[in-house]
Amino acid sequence: MAVATYGSKGAYVGSSARGGSLQRPFQIVIMAADLLLILLSYVVGASLYSAVVSSPADGGSAGAGLFVGVVFVVIAYSRDVYATHRLLNLVWQLRNALFIWLTSLTILAVAAFLLKSTDNLSRGTVIVFAAIGGLGLMSLRFAWQAVFGTSFARSRLVDRKVILLSLKPLDFTATRFKDLRRNGFDIVRHFVLGIDVADGHWQRQIRDVIRQSHSADVDEYLLAIDWNELPMLRKLGPYLRAVPQPIRLLPDDPVADLVTRPFLPVSGTVAVEIQRPPLSILERLQKRCLDVGVALFALVLLTPLILTVAVLIKLDSPGAVIFRQSRRGFNGKPFEIWKFRTMTVCENGETIRQATKRDARITRIGRFLRMTSIDELPQLWNVLRGEMSLVGPRPHALAHDNYYDELISNYVYRHHMKPGLTGWAQVNGFRGETPTIDLMEKRVEYDVWYVGNWSIWLDLKILARTASSVLFQEAY
């Protein structure tokens, strides 16, 4: 970032460096690289398949590769995949590239069917092409990350030169500011406008800021606005129309939460969704397929471990191997949860005491099972039965549900989704004992956020983080 000094009238002014003039040709090169890679993938796929089946190469339908390549690039461009600020977001790039690739192949299949040209396409070639092209596009995203992460590429190609406007001095250690540079924003000037509009000084100050900004040669403007400053947007609007560059809002957390929610157009205005409805049919199908697939695979893979643990529990202390306890599931519907028995007692009444660090009720093998969460493995059966999900708010004993439901106002929202073996709260440090109301409120806060922001990608992220949570977080 450029060396900056304080300018007149409270303006924080930095020297300008221009990299945006290179961005448009740069984006064209990126799009051409995707198109060329897809075409090469089709040629390689056709050659490999023909070599395996000892038949002539499928050259007559090479247009299929061009068709898929064009469709991919067009969709990717419409989804801002080639926007400079998106290039360094590897996870976002991988996720969108995979989705667009599958969509492009689907469009190819539908087009071939409608045009009655499926006979001209080799199914084997298309399958090999799909695999090679998908891997190639993923690899290209990793290459982008390596190349564009260099300081030269960031300063000349990736970063957008922006002017930051605010109504008060900013704390640049706050979350919304500290990662601006990492996400492609190069702030070359920061103007503090102030909020005093009583006289003409405020208007003159804004005109002066815009006049100074013309010499900065920037790509866009960022407007940092807090919730209590929203009325000033209407006053700023007429003045900011004088600049031809895009102007983007950089809100605080309350505004950011509001503008990221879905909305429904209503008679010239909009209705913002404050609470999402239960999962749609398609979302429930996605989640259920993930649950059944992973649960079946885990049960088959872990059968030796499960049998070994059952024998050790039986040898360690008298009692049943499986502990059953009543819990509440989706919409508060009761079900019986399964766990490996880890205590000398099997409480399931109106009063249930949470396990503590040196709880004398925990058996020798039970302490190890609880620390490693192996005691939760029988809940894979609950997942297959549809009573639980792999990911969701962890279910509590009925006695604890009744207790916390009266103390925590949004506790009931946890039941808007099936309970899970693991959850957003658990991978964020709230696993095990919750001896205070504050800790339970924090766990509920994470659970409610998960319910309101569910996606299949979030479930996969939580499953990936669960292993490290089990290794490095202590539970009793």
Which residues contact residue 231 at a Cβ distance below 8 angstroms, ignoring those fewer than 6 apart? Answer: none
Does residue 452 contact residue 420 with C-beta atoms inside 8 Å? no
Q: Classify residue 351: in a domain, yes or no.
A: yes
> Which of 8-12, 48-52, 349-353, 422-426 is least confident?
8-12
The residue from 127, 151, 175 where one domain ends is 151
Q: Classify residue 276: in a domain, yes or no.
A: no
> Which of 49-53, 54-58, 130-134, 288-292 is least confident?
54-58
The residue that leads in pLDDT, 473 or 264, is 264
226 shares a domain with 129: no
State which amino acid sits at residue 322. Answer: I
Q: Classify residue 275: in a domain, yes or no.
A: no
- Phi and psi for 237 in degrees, rounded to 5? -50, -55
432 shares a domain with 346: yes
State which amino acid sits at residue 144. Answer: W
Per-residue pLDDT, 4: 34
Q: Classify residue 443: in a domain, yes or no.
A: yes
pTM of the complete model: 0.53
Alpha carbon distance 394, 91 (integer Å): 27
Q: Classify residue 273: in a domain, yes or no.
A: no
Per-residue pLDDT, 19: 41
Closest CA to 385 of 342, 327, 338: 338
Share of the chain above pLDDT 70, in %: 78
Q: Classify residue 286: in a domain, yes or no.
A: yes
- Domains in the chain: how many in total? 3
Q: Classify residue 274: in a domain, yes or no.
A: no
> Which of 178-182, 235-239, 310-314 is least confident?
178-182
176 shares a domain with 86: no
For residue 182 the two structure tokens come to 């990492």
Does residue 136 contact residue 163 with C-beta atoms inside 8 Å? no
318 shares a domain with 245: no
Region for 244 from its dihedrals, namely left if φ exceeds 0, alpha if ψ lies in -120 to 50, beta otherwise: alpha
State which amino acid sits at residue 248. Answer: R
297 shares a domain with 410: yes
For residue 391 the two structure tokens come to 């990911």
Per-residue pLDDT, 271: 87
134 shares a domain with 187: no
Per-residue pLDDT, 6: 32
Domain that holds residue 372: 281-472
Task: Determine the angle formed by the axes of helices 456-472 and 281-316, rounding to 10 degrees.
Answer: 20
Q: Strand 4-6 to strand 11-14: parallel, antiparallel, or no bridges (unpaired)?
A: antiparallel
Please, which residues bridge with residue 272 across strands? 263
The residue from 151, 168, 202 where one domain ends is 151
- Confidence check: pLDDT of 378 > 90: yes
- Mean pLDDT on 449-475: 78
Average pLDDT of the chain, as a whole number:
78
Which residues contact residue 441 at a Cβ distance below 8 angstroms, ignoring those fewer than 6 apart? Answer: 408
The residue from 134, 151, 168 where one domain ends is 151
Does residue 47 contact residue 40 with C-beta atoms inside 8 Å? no
Per-residue pLDDT, 288: 93
| Tokens 């509440």 -> residue | 328
Alpha carbon distance 206, 204 (integer Å): 6
- Confidence check: pLDDT of 348 > 70: no
Does residue 192 contact residue 225 with C-beta atoms inside 8 Å? no
224 shares a domain with 147: no
Per-residue pLDDT, 7: 34
262 shares a domain with 341: no
Number of Cβ within a 10 Å radius of residue 109: 12
Per-residue pLDDT, 287: 93
417 shares a domain with 362: yes
416 shares a domain with 299: yes
Q: Classify residue 32: in a domain, yes or no.
A: yes
31 shares a domain with 8: no
For residue 281 the two structure tokens come to 């049919």
Give the length of the chain. 476
- Confidence check: pLDDT of 429 > 50: yes
CATH label of the domain that carries residue 237: 3.40.50
30 shares a domain with 11: no
- Confidence check: pLDDT of 147 > 70: yes
Task: Give the DSSP per-residue string, 182-228.
Answer: TTTEEEEEEEE--S--SSTHHHHHHHHHHHHHTTT--SEEEEEE-GG
